[in-house]
Amino acid sequence: MFINQTVAKELYEDAGDARLQRAKAYVKQKRVSIEHIDYDDMNNFCVESLVDGNYDEYRVHISLRNGELDRLSCECEDYNSHYGACKHIIATLLEIDGNPKYSKDQNKSKPKEKYPNFSDLINTFYDEEMKLIDDLDEPTISLDKNVNLIPKIIFDSYSNEMKIEFKIGTKKQLYKLRDLVEFYNLMINKEQYKYGAKLNIVHTQETFDEDDIPMLNFIMKHAETIKYVNNNSNSIYRYYGKVLNTGSIVLSNTVIDEIFEILQNKKVTIEKGYISKEIEFVNEIPDIKFELEKINEKEYKLICNIDTYDTYEIIEGKEYTYFLTDDKLYRCSKEYKETTLKLLDVFKRNYTREIKFSKNQMPNFFSIVLPKVENSINLETIDEEEIEQYMPKKLGVKVYLEFNEKNYIVAKVMFCYGEDEFNPLEENPNIPRSVLEEAESLNTFRKTGFLLDKNNLRFVLADDEKIYNFLYQDIAEYMQKFEVLATDDFKTREIKKPKMGTIGVKIENNLLSIDVDNFNFDKEELREILEKYSLKKKYYRLKNGDFLTLEENEDIDFLNNLISGTRSKL
């Protein structure tokens, strides 16, 4: 059989010389096994093969329709990393191209043609002449202003990645956009180009359907990136072909967020495996629900309303997470992924639609699982008395603050559930508790910089900078989240701004004399304060334990300039 040599040449160039030479070796070593062929002519055929690679066997699929590549895929890592022609695809092309045993007549058990090469010669020039005849009635420039850009998504289950390809055309005929960089150049230069017998257009924005302008802008943006990367890659990469495939755009984390905005509420063809279908892009969460049921007096079970044996995919975007089913692509928040979808994944990886557990495990269910997914779990079949028995009361947190003899901040924490109050570092009462909320509360102390004092069952903040940050800003968050109780000594501690009243300045015997008796701090510490200020420190801790803030202070700036002999900019 024979294949369109223009297509073959483009694939060979895309692969690069290194892949081409390896593919030739594969053919010579008889490592290509053709599994299936549907062949009409050199412009219309479909072939599947198995290629014995260095590490594994790889399935290859190549489809050509009307002289355009309809599908190209391989299971190897090379193809999945750049979605271009790999050595296995090239080996398959080399195996079938010009090989009479794969001819159309052979497949239909017809007598073998004696001069297959001559038939190809005749058909090549015959097809070209017939094409010219067909084109006689076509206008030189299309006046149709409603040219469409039709996307098609290719999903690779092996890598859990997607790419997007495009067709261009009108109701009469659609043609595959085989080279997005070439399309980009045509648009930039506003050139005329003939895609086929029924599409001859000038590449301006006005040529395209108004609804497809966002898609046009999307293609132009990413085609420019592909062009730049391929043109500026070094020669080592170029030896192996193009760095980025020019026939499609990989839907990375950021790009999938971008394309969703364009395709929202629209239906798009997606190819997954060897099956093509339409999916709708919907800006909503899927209907995933769980129900808690009582099996008997000792057991309960959690049931999922969807069949976890069915195929679905979770795809990560930058701002969103996407849930792909047979007919829809849902856009979900990252929070939904960490709650409902995380629970669904437990069912899927255990190959079950229900999870059983004992009555003794109910407190853990109510304190750990339910708070995360309460909007997706139905408890209607459980008696209210049982729910009351296991449902934790609202958590309250009391924080007692004081300074110790070393001027460290000491915090004692108490958890409260109704009338039950206890130190979580000391007690573990047998009551329903909000474990996740408790952990979140204790993590607040860790993030602030408090250290655990196990011997005294409390937290200690010992670093001066962290104490300053706590008093300057963090304590406001604590007062919002917790009930904060402080000693009188703690309440008197403050962060001051350096202030001065009038300054007496006089010159005696050519010496500058400055009266600094009016500062709101001990003048004996002035030298150290100015040293800290010169080093651009945020604060200075006075000997009495209070803090002076040195950020954006006009008084201390003026005094520093005066003493250092520089001119004030006030």
pLDDT digits (tens, 9 = 90+) for 532-550: 766 777 777 777 777 777 7
Same domain, 157 and 266: yes
Same domain, 40 and 102: yes
CB 62 within 8 A of CB 92: yes
**Residue where a domain terminates, one of 462, 492, 522:** 492
Distance CA 212, CA 198 (A): 20
CB 350 within 8 A of CB 197: no
Compare 311 and 408 and report the one with higher pLDDT. 408
Query: What per-residue confidence (pLDDT) applies to 549?
Result: 74
Report the candidate in 244, 241, 213 with the shortest Cα–Cα distance to residue 228.
Answer: 244
How high does pLDDT run on average in the chain? Answer: 83
| 268 exposure class (CB count in 10 Å sphere: 0-12, 13-18, 19+) | middle
Same domain, 382 and 465: no
Q: What is the mean pLDDT of residues 251-255?
A: 93
Tell me how far CA of residue 111 lies from CA of 47, 97, 117, 122, 359, in angstroms: 22, 19, 16, 19, 76
Q: Taking CA 217 as the corner, what is the angle to CA 213 and CA 219, rounded to the nearest 5 degrees?
A: 115
Q: What is the DSSP letter of 519?
A: B
Report the candidate in 284, 278, 289, 223 with the shortest Cα–Cα distance to residue 250.
Answer: 223
Between the ranges 8-22, 131-145, 222-236, 330-344, where is the mean pLDDT highest?
Answer: 330-344
Q: Over pLDDT 70: what percentage of the chain?
A: 81
Report the candidate in 396, 402, 414, 398 with the shortest Cα–Cα distance to residue 457.
Answer: 414
Query: What per-residue confidence (pLDDT) applies to 294?
Result: 92
CB 496 within 8 A of CB 519: no
The reply to whether the predicted model has a pTM over 0.85 is no
pLDDT of 408 > 80? The answer is: yes
In a domain, 459, yes or no: yes
Bridge partners of residue 331, in order along the sequence = 322
Q: Taking CA 19 as the corner, what is the angle to CA 15 and CA 21, rounded to the nearest 5 degrees?
A: 125
Report the candidate in 570, 545, 542 with the shortest Cα–Cα distance to residue 556.
Answer: 570
Same domain, 171 and 255: yes
Q: Tokens standing for 302?
A: 């959690």
pLDDT of 26 > 50? The answer is: yes
Distance CA 44, CA 40 (A): 5
> pLDDT grade, residue 110 (50/70/90)?
very low
Tell me how far CA of residue 93 lies from CA of 46, 126, 415, in angstroms: 11, 24, 71
Overall domain count for the chain: 5
Q: Tokens standing for 185?
A: 């150049």
Query: What per-residue confidence (pLDDT) applies to 140?
Result: 43
**Dihedral (C-alpha) 255, 76, 149, 4: value to the nearest 10 degrees?**
150
Distance CA 490, CA 470 (A): 13
In a domain, 33, yes or no: yes
> pLDDT grade, residue 233 (50/70/90)?
low
| Contacts of residue 150, Cβ cutoff 8 Å, sequence gap at least 6 | 166, 167, 168, 169, 174
Least confident of 121-135, 342-356, 443-457: 121-135
Same domain, 56 and 70: yes
Same domain, 370 and 448: no
Same domain, 386 and 399: no
Distance CA 400, CA 194 (A): 79
CB 152 within 8 A of CB 166: yes
Distance CA 357, CA 570 (A): 73
Q: What is the mean pLDDT of residues 340-353?
A: 91
Same domain, 175 and 252: yes
Q: Which residue has the tokens 């963090």?
A: 474
Same domain, 386 and 476: no
Which residue segment(s) compose the domain that 375 sits in?
A: 289-309+334-390
Compare 492 and 23 and report the one with higher pLDDT. 23
> pLDDT grade, residue 135 (50/70/90)?
very low
Q: How far is CA 273 from the centre of its chain?
A: 23
Q: What is the mean pLDDT of residues 234-244?
A: 57
| Contacts of residue 459, Cβ cutoff 8 Å, sequence gap at least 6 | 410, 411, 412, 413, 445, 450, 451, 452, 453
Same domain, 459 and 544: no
> pLDDT grade, residue 121 (50/70/90)?
low
Same domain, 464 and 514: no
In a domain, 320, yes or no: no
In a domain, 319, yes or no: no
pLDDT of 173 > 60? The answer is: yes
| Contacts of residue 165, Cβ cutoff 8 Å, sequence gap at least 6 | 151, 152, 153, 154, 176, 177, 247, 248
Least confident of 63-77, 99-113, 319-333, 423-437: 99-113
Distance CA 91, CA 31 (A): 9
Same domain, 92 and 117: yes
In a domain, 463, yes or no: yes
State which H helix or E strand residue 292 sits in.
Answer: strand 290-294
b/e map 285-322, b = 16+ CB within 10 Å: bbebebbbbeeeeeebebbbebebeeebebbebeebbb
Compare 128 and 400 and report the one with higher pLDDT. 400
Distance CA 366, CA 267 (A): 40
Query: What per-residue confidence (pLDDT) applies to 500?
Result: 59
Q: What is the mean pLDDT of residues 331-340?
A: 95
Distance CA 355, CA 369 (A): 13
Distance CA 472, CA 474 (A): 7
Distance CA 89, CA 304 (A): 42
In a domain, 315, yes or no: no
**Residue where a domain terminates, one of 342, 359, 390:** 390
> pLDDT grade, residue 241 (50/70/90)?
low
pLDDT of 522 > 80? The answer is: no
What is the rounded radius of gyration, in angstroms, for the C-alpha atoms of the chain?
37
| Contacts of residue 481, Cβ cutoff 8 Å, sequence gap at least 6 | 397, 441, 444
In a domain, 11, yes or no: yes
Q: Tokens standing for 246?
A: 């020019």
In a domain, 126, yes or no: yes
Q: What is the mean pLDDT of residues 75-102?
A: 85
Residue 219, Cβ neighbours under 10 Å: how many?
22
**Residue where a domain terminates, one of 390, 413, 430:** 390
> pLDDT grade, residue 565 (50/70/90)?
low
Bridge partners of residue 515, in order along the sequence = 504
Q: What is the mean pLDDT of residues 304-326?
A: 89
Q: What is the mean pLDDT of residues 78-106?
A: 81
Q: Which residue has the tokens 């202003």?
A: 145
Q: What is the mean pLDDT of residues 433-444?
A: 91
pLDDT of 142 > 70? The answer is: no
> pLDDT grade, residue 100 (50/70/90)?
confident
Q: What is the mean pLDDT of residues 51-58?
A: 84
Q: What is the mean pLDDT of residues 155-178?
A: 86
Q: What is the mean pLDDT of residues 507-528?
A: 60
Query: What per-residue confidence (pLDDT) applies to 127?
Result: 56
Query: What per-residue confidence (pLDDT) applies to 417?
Result: 92
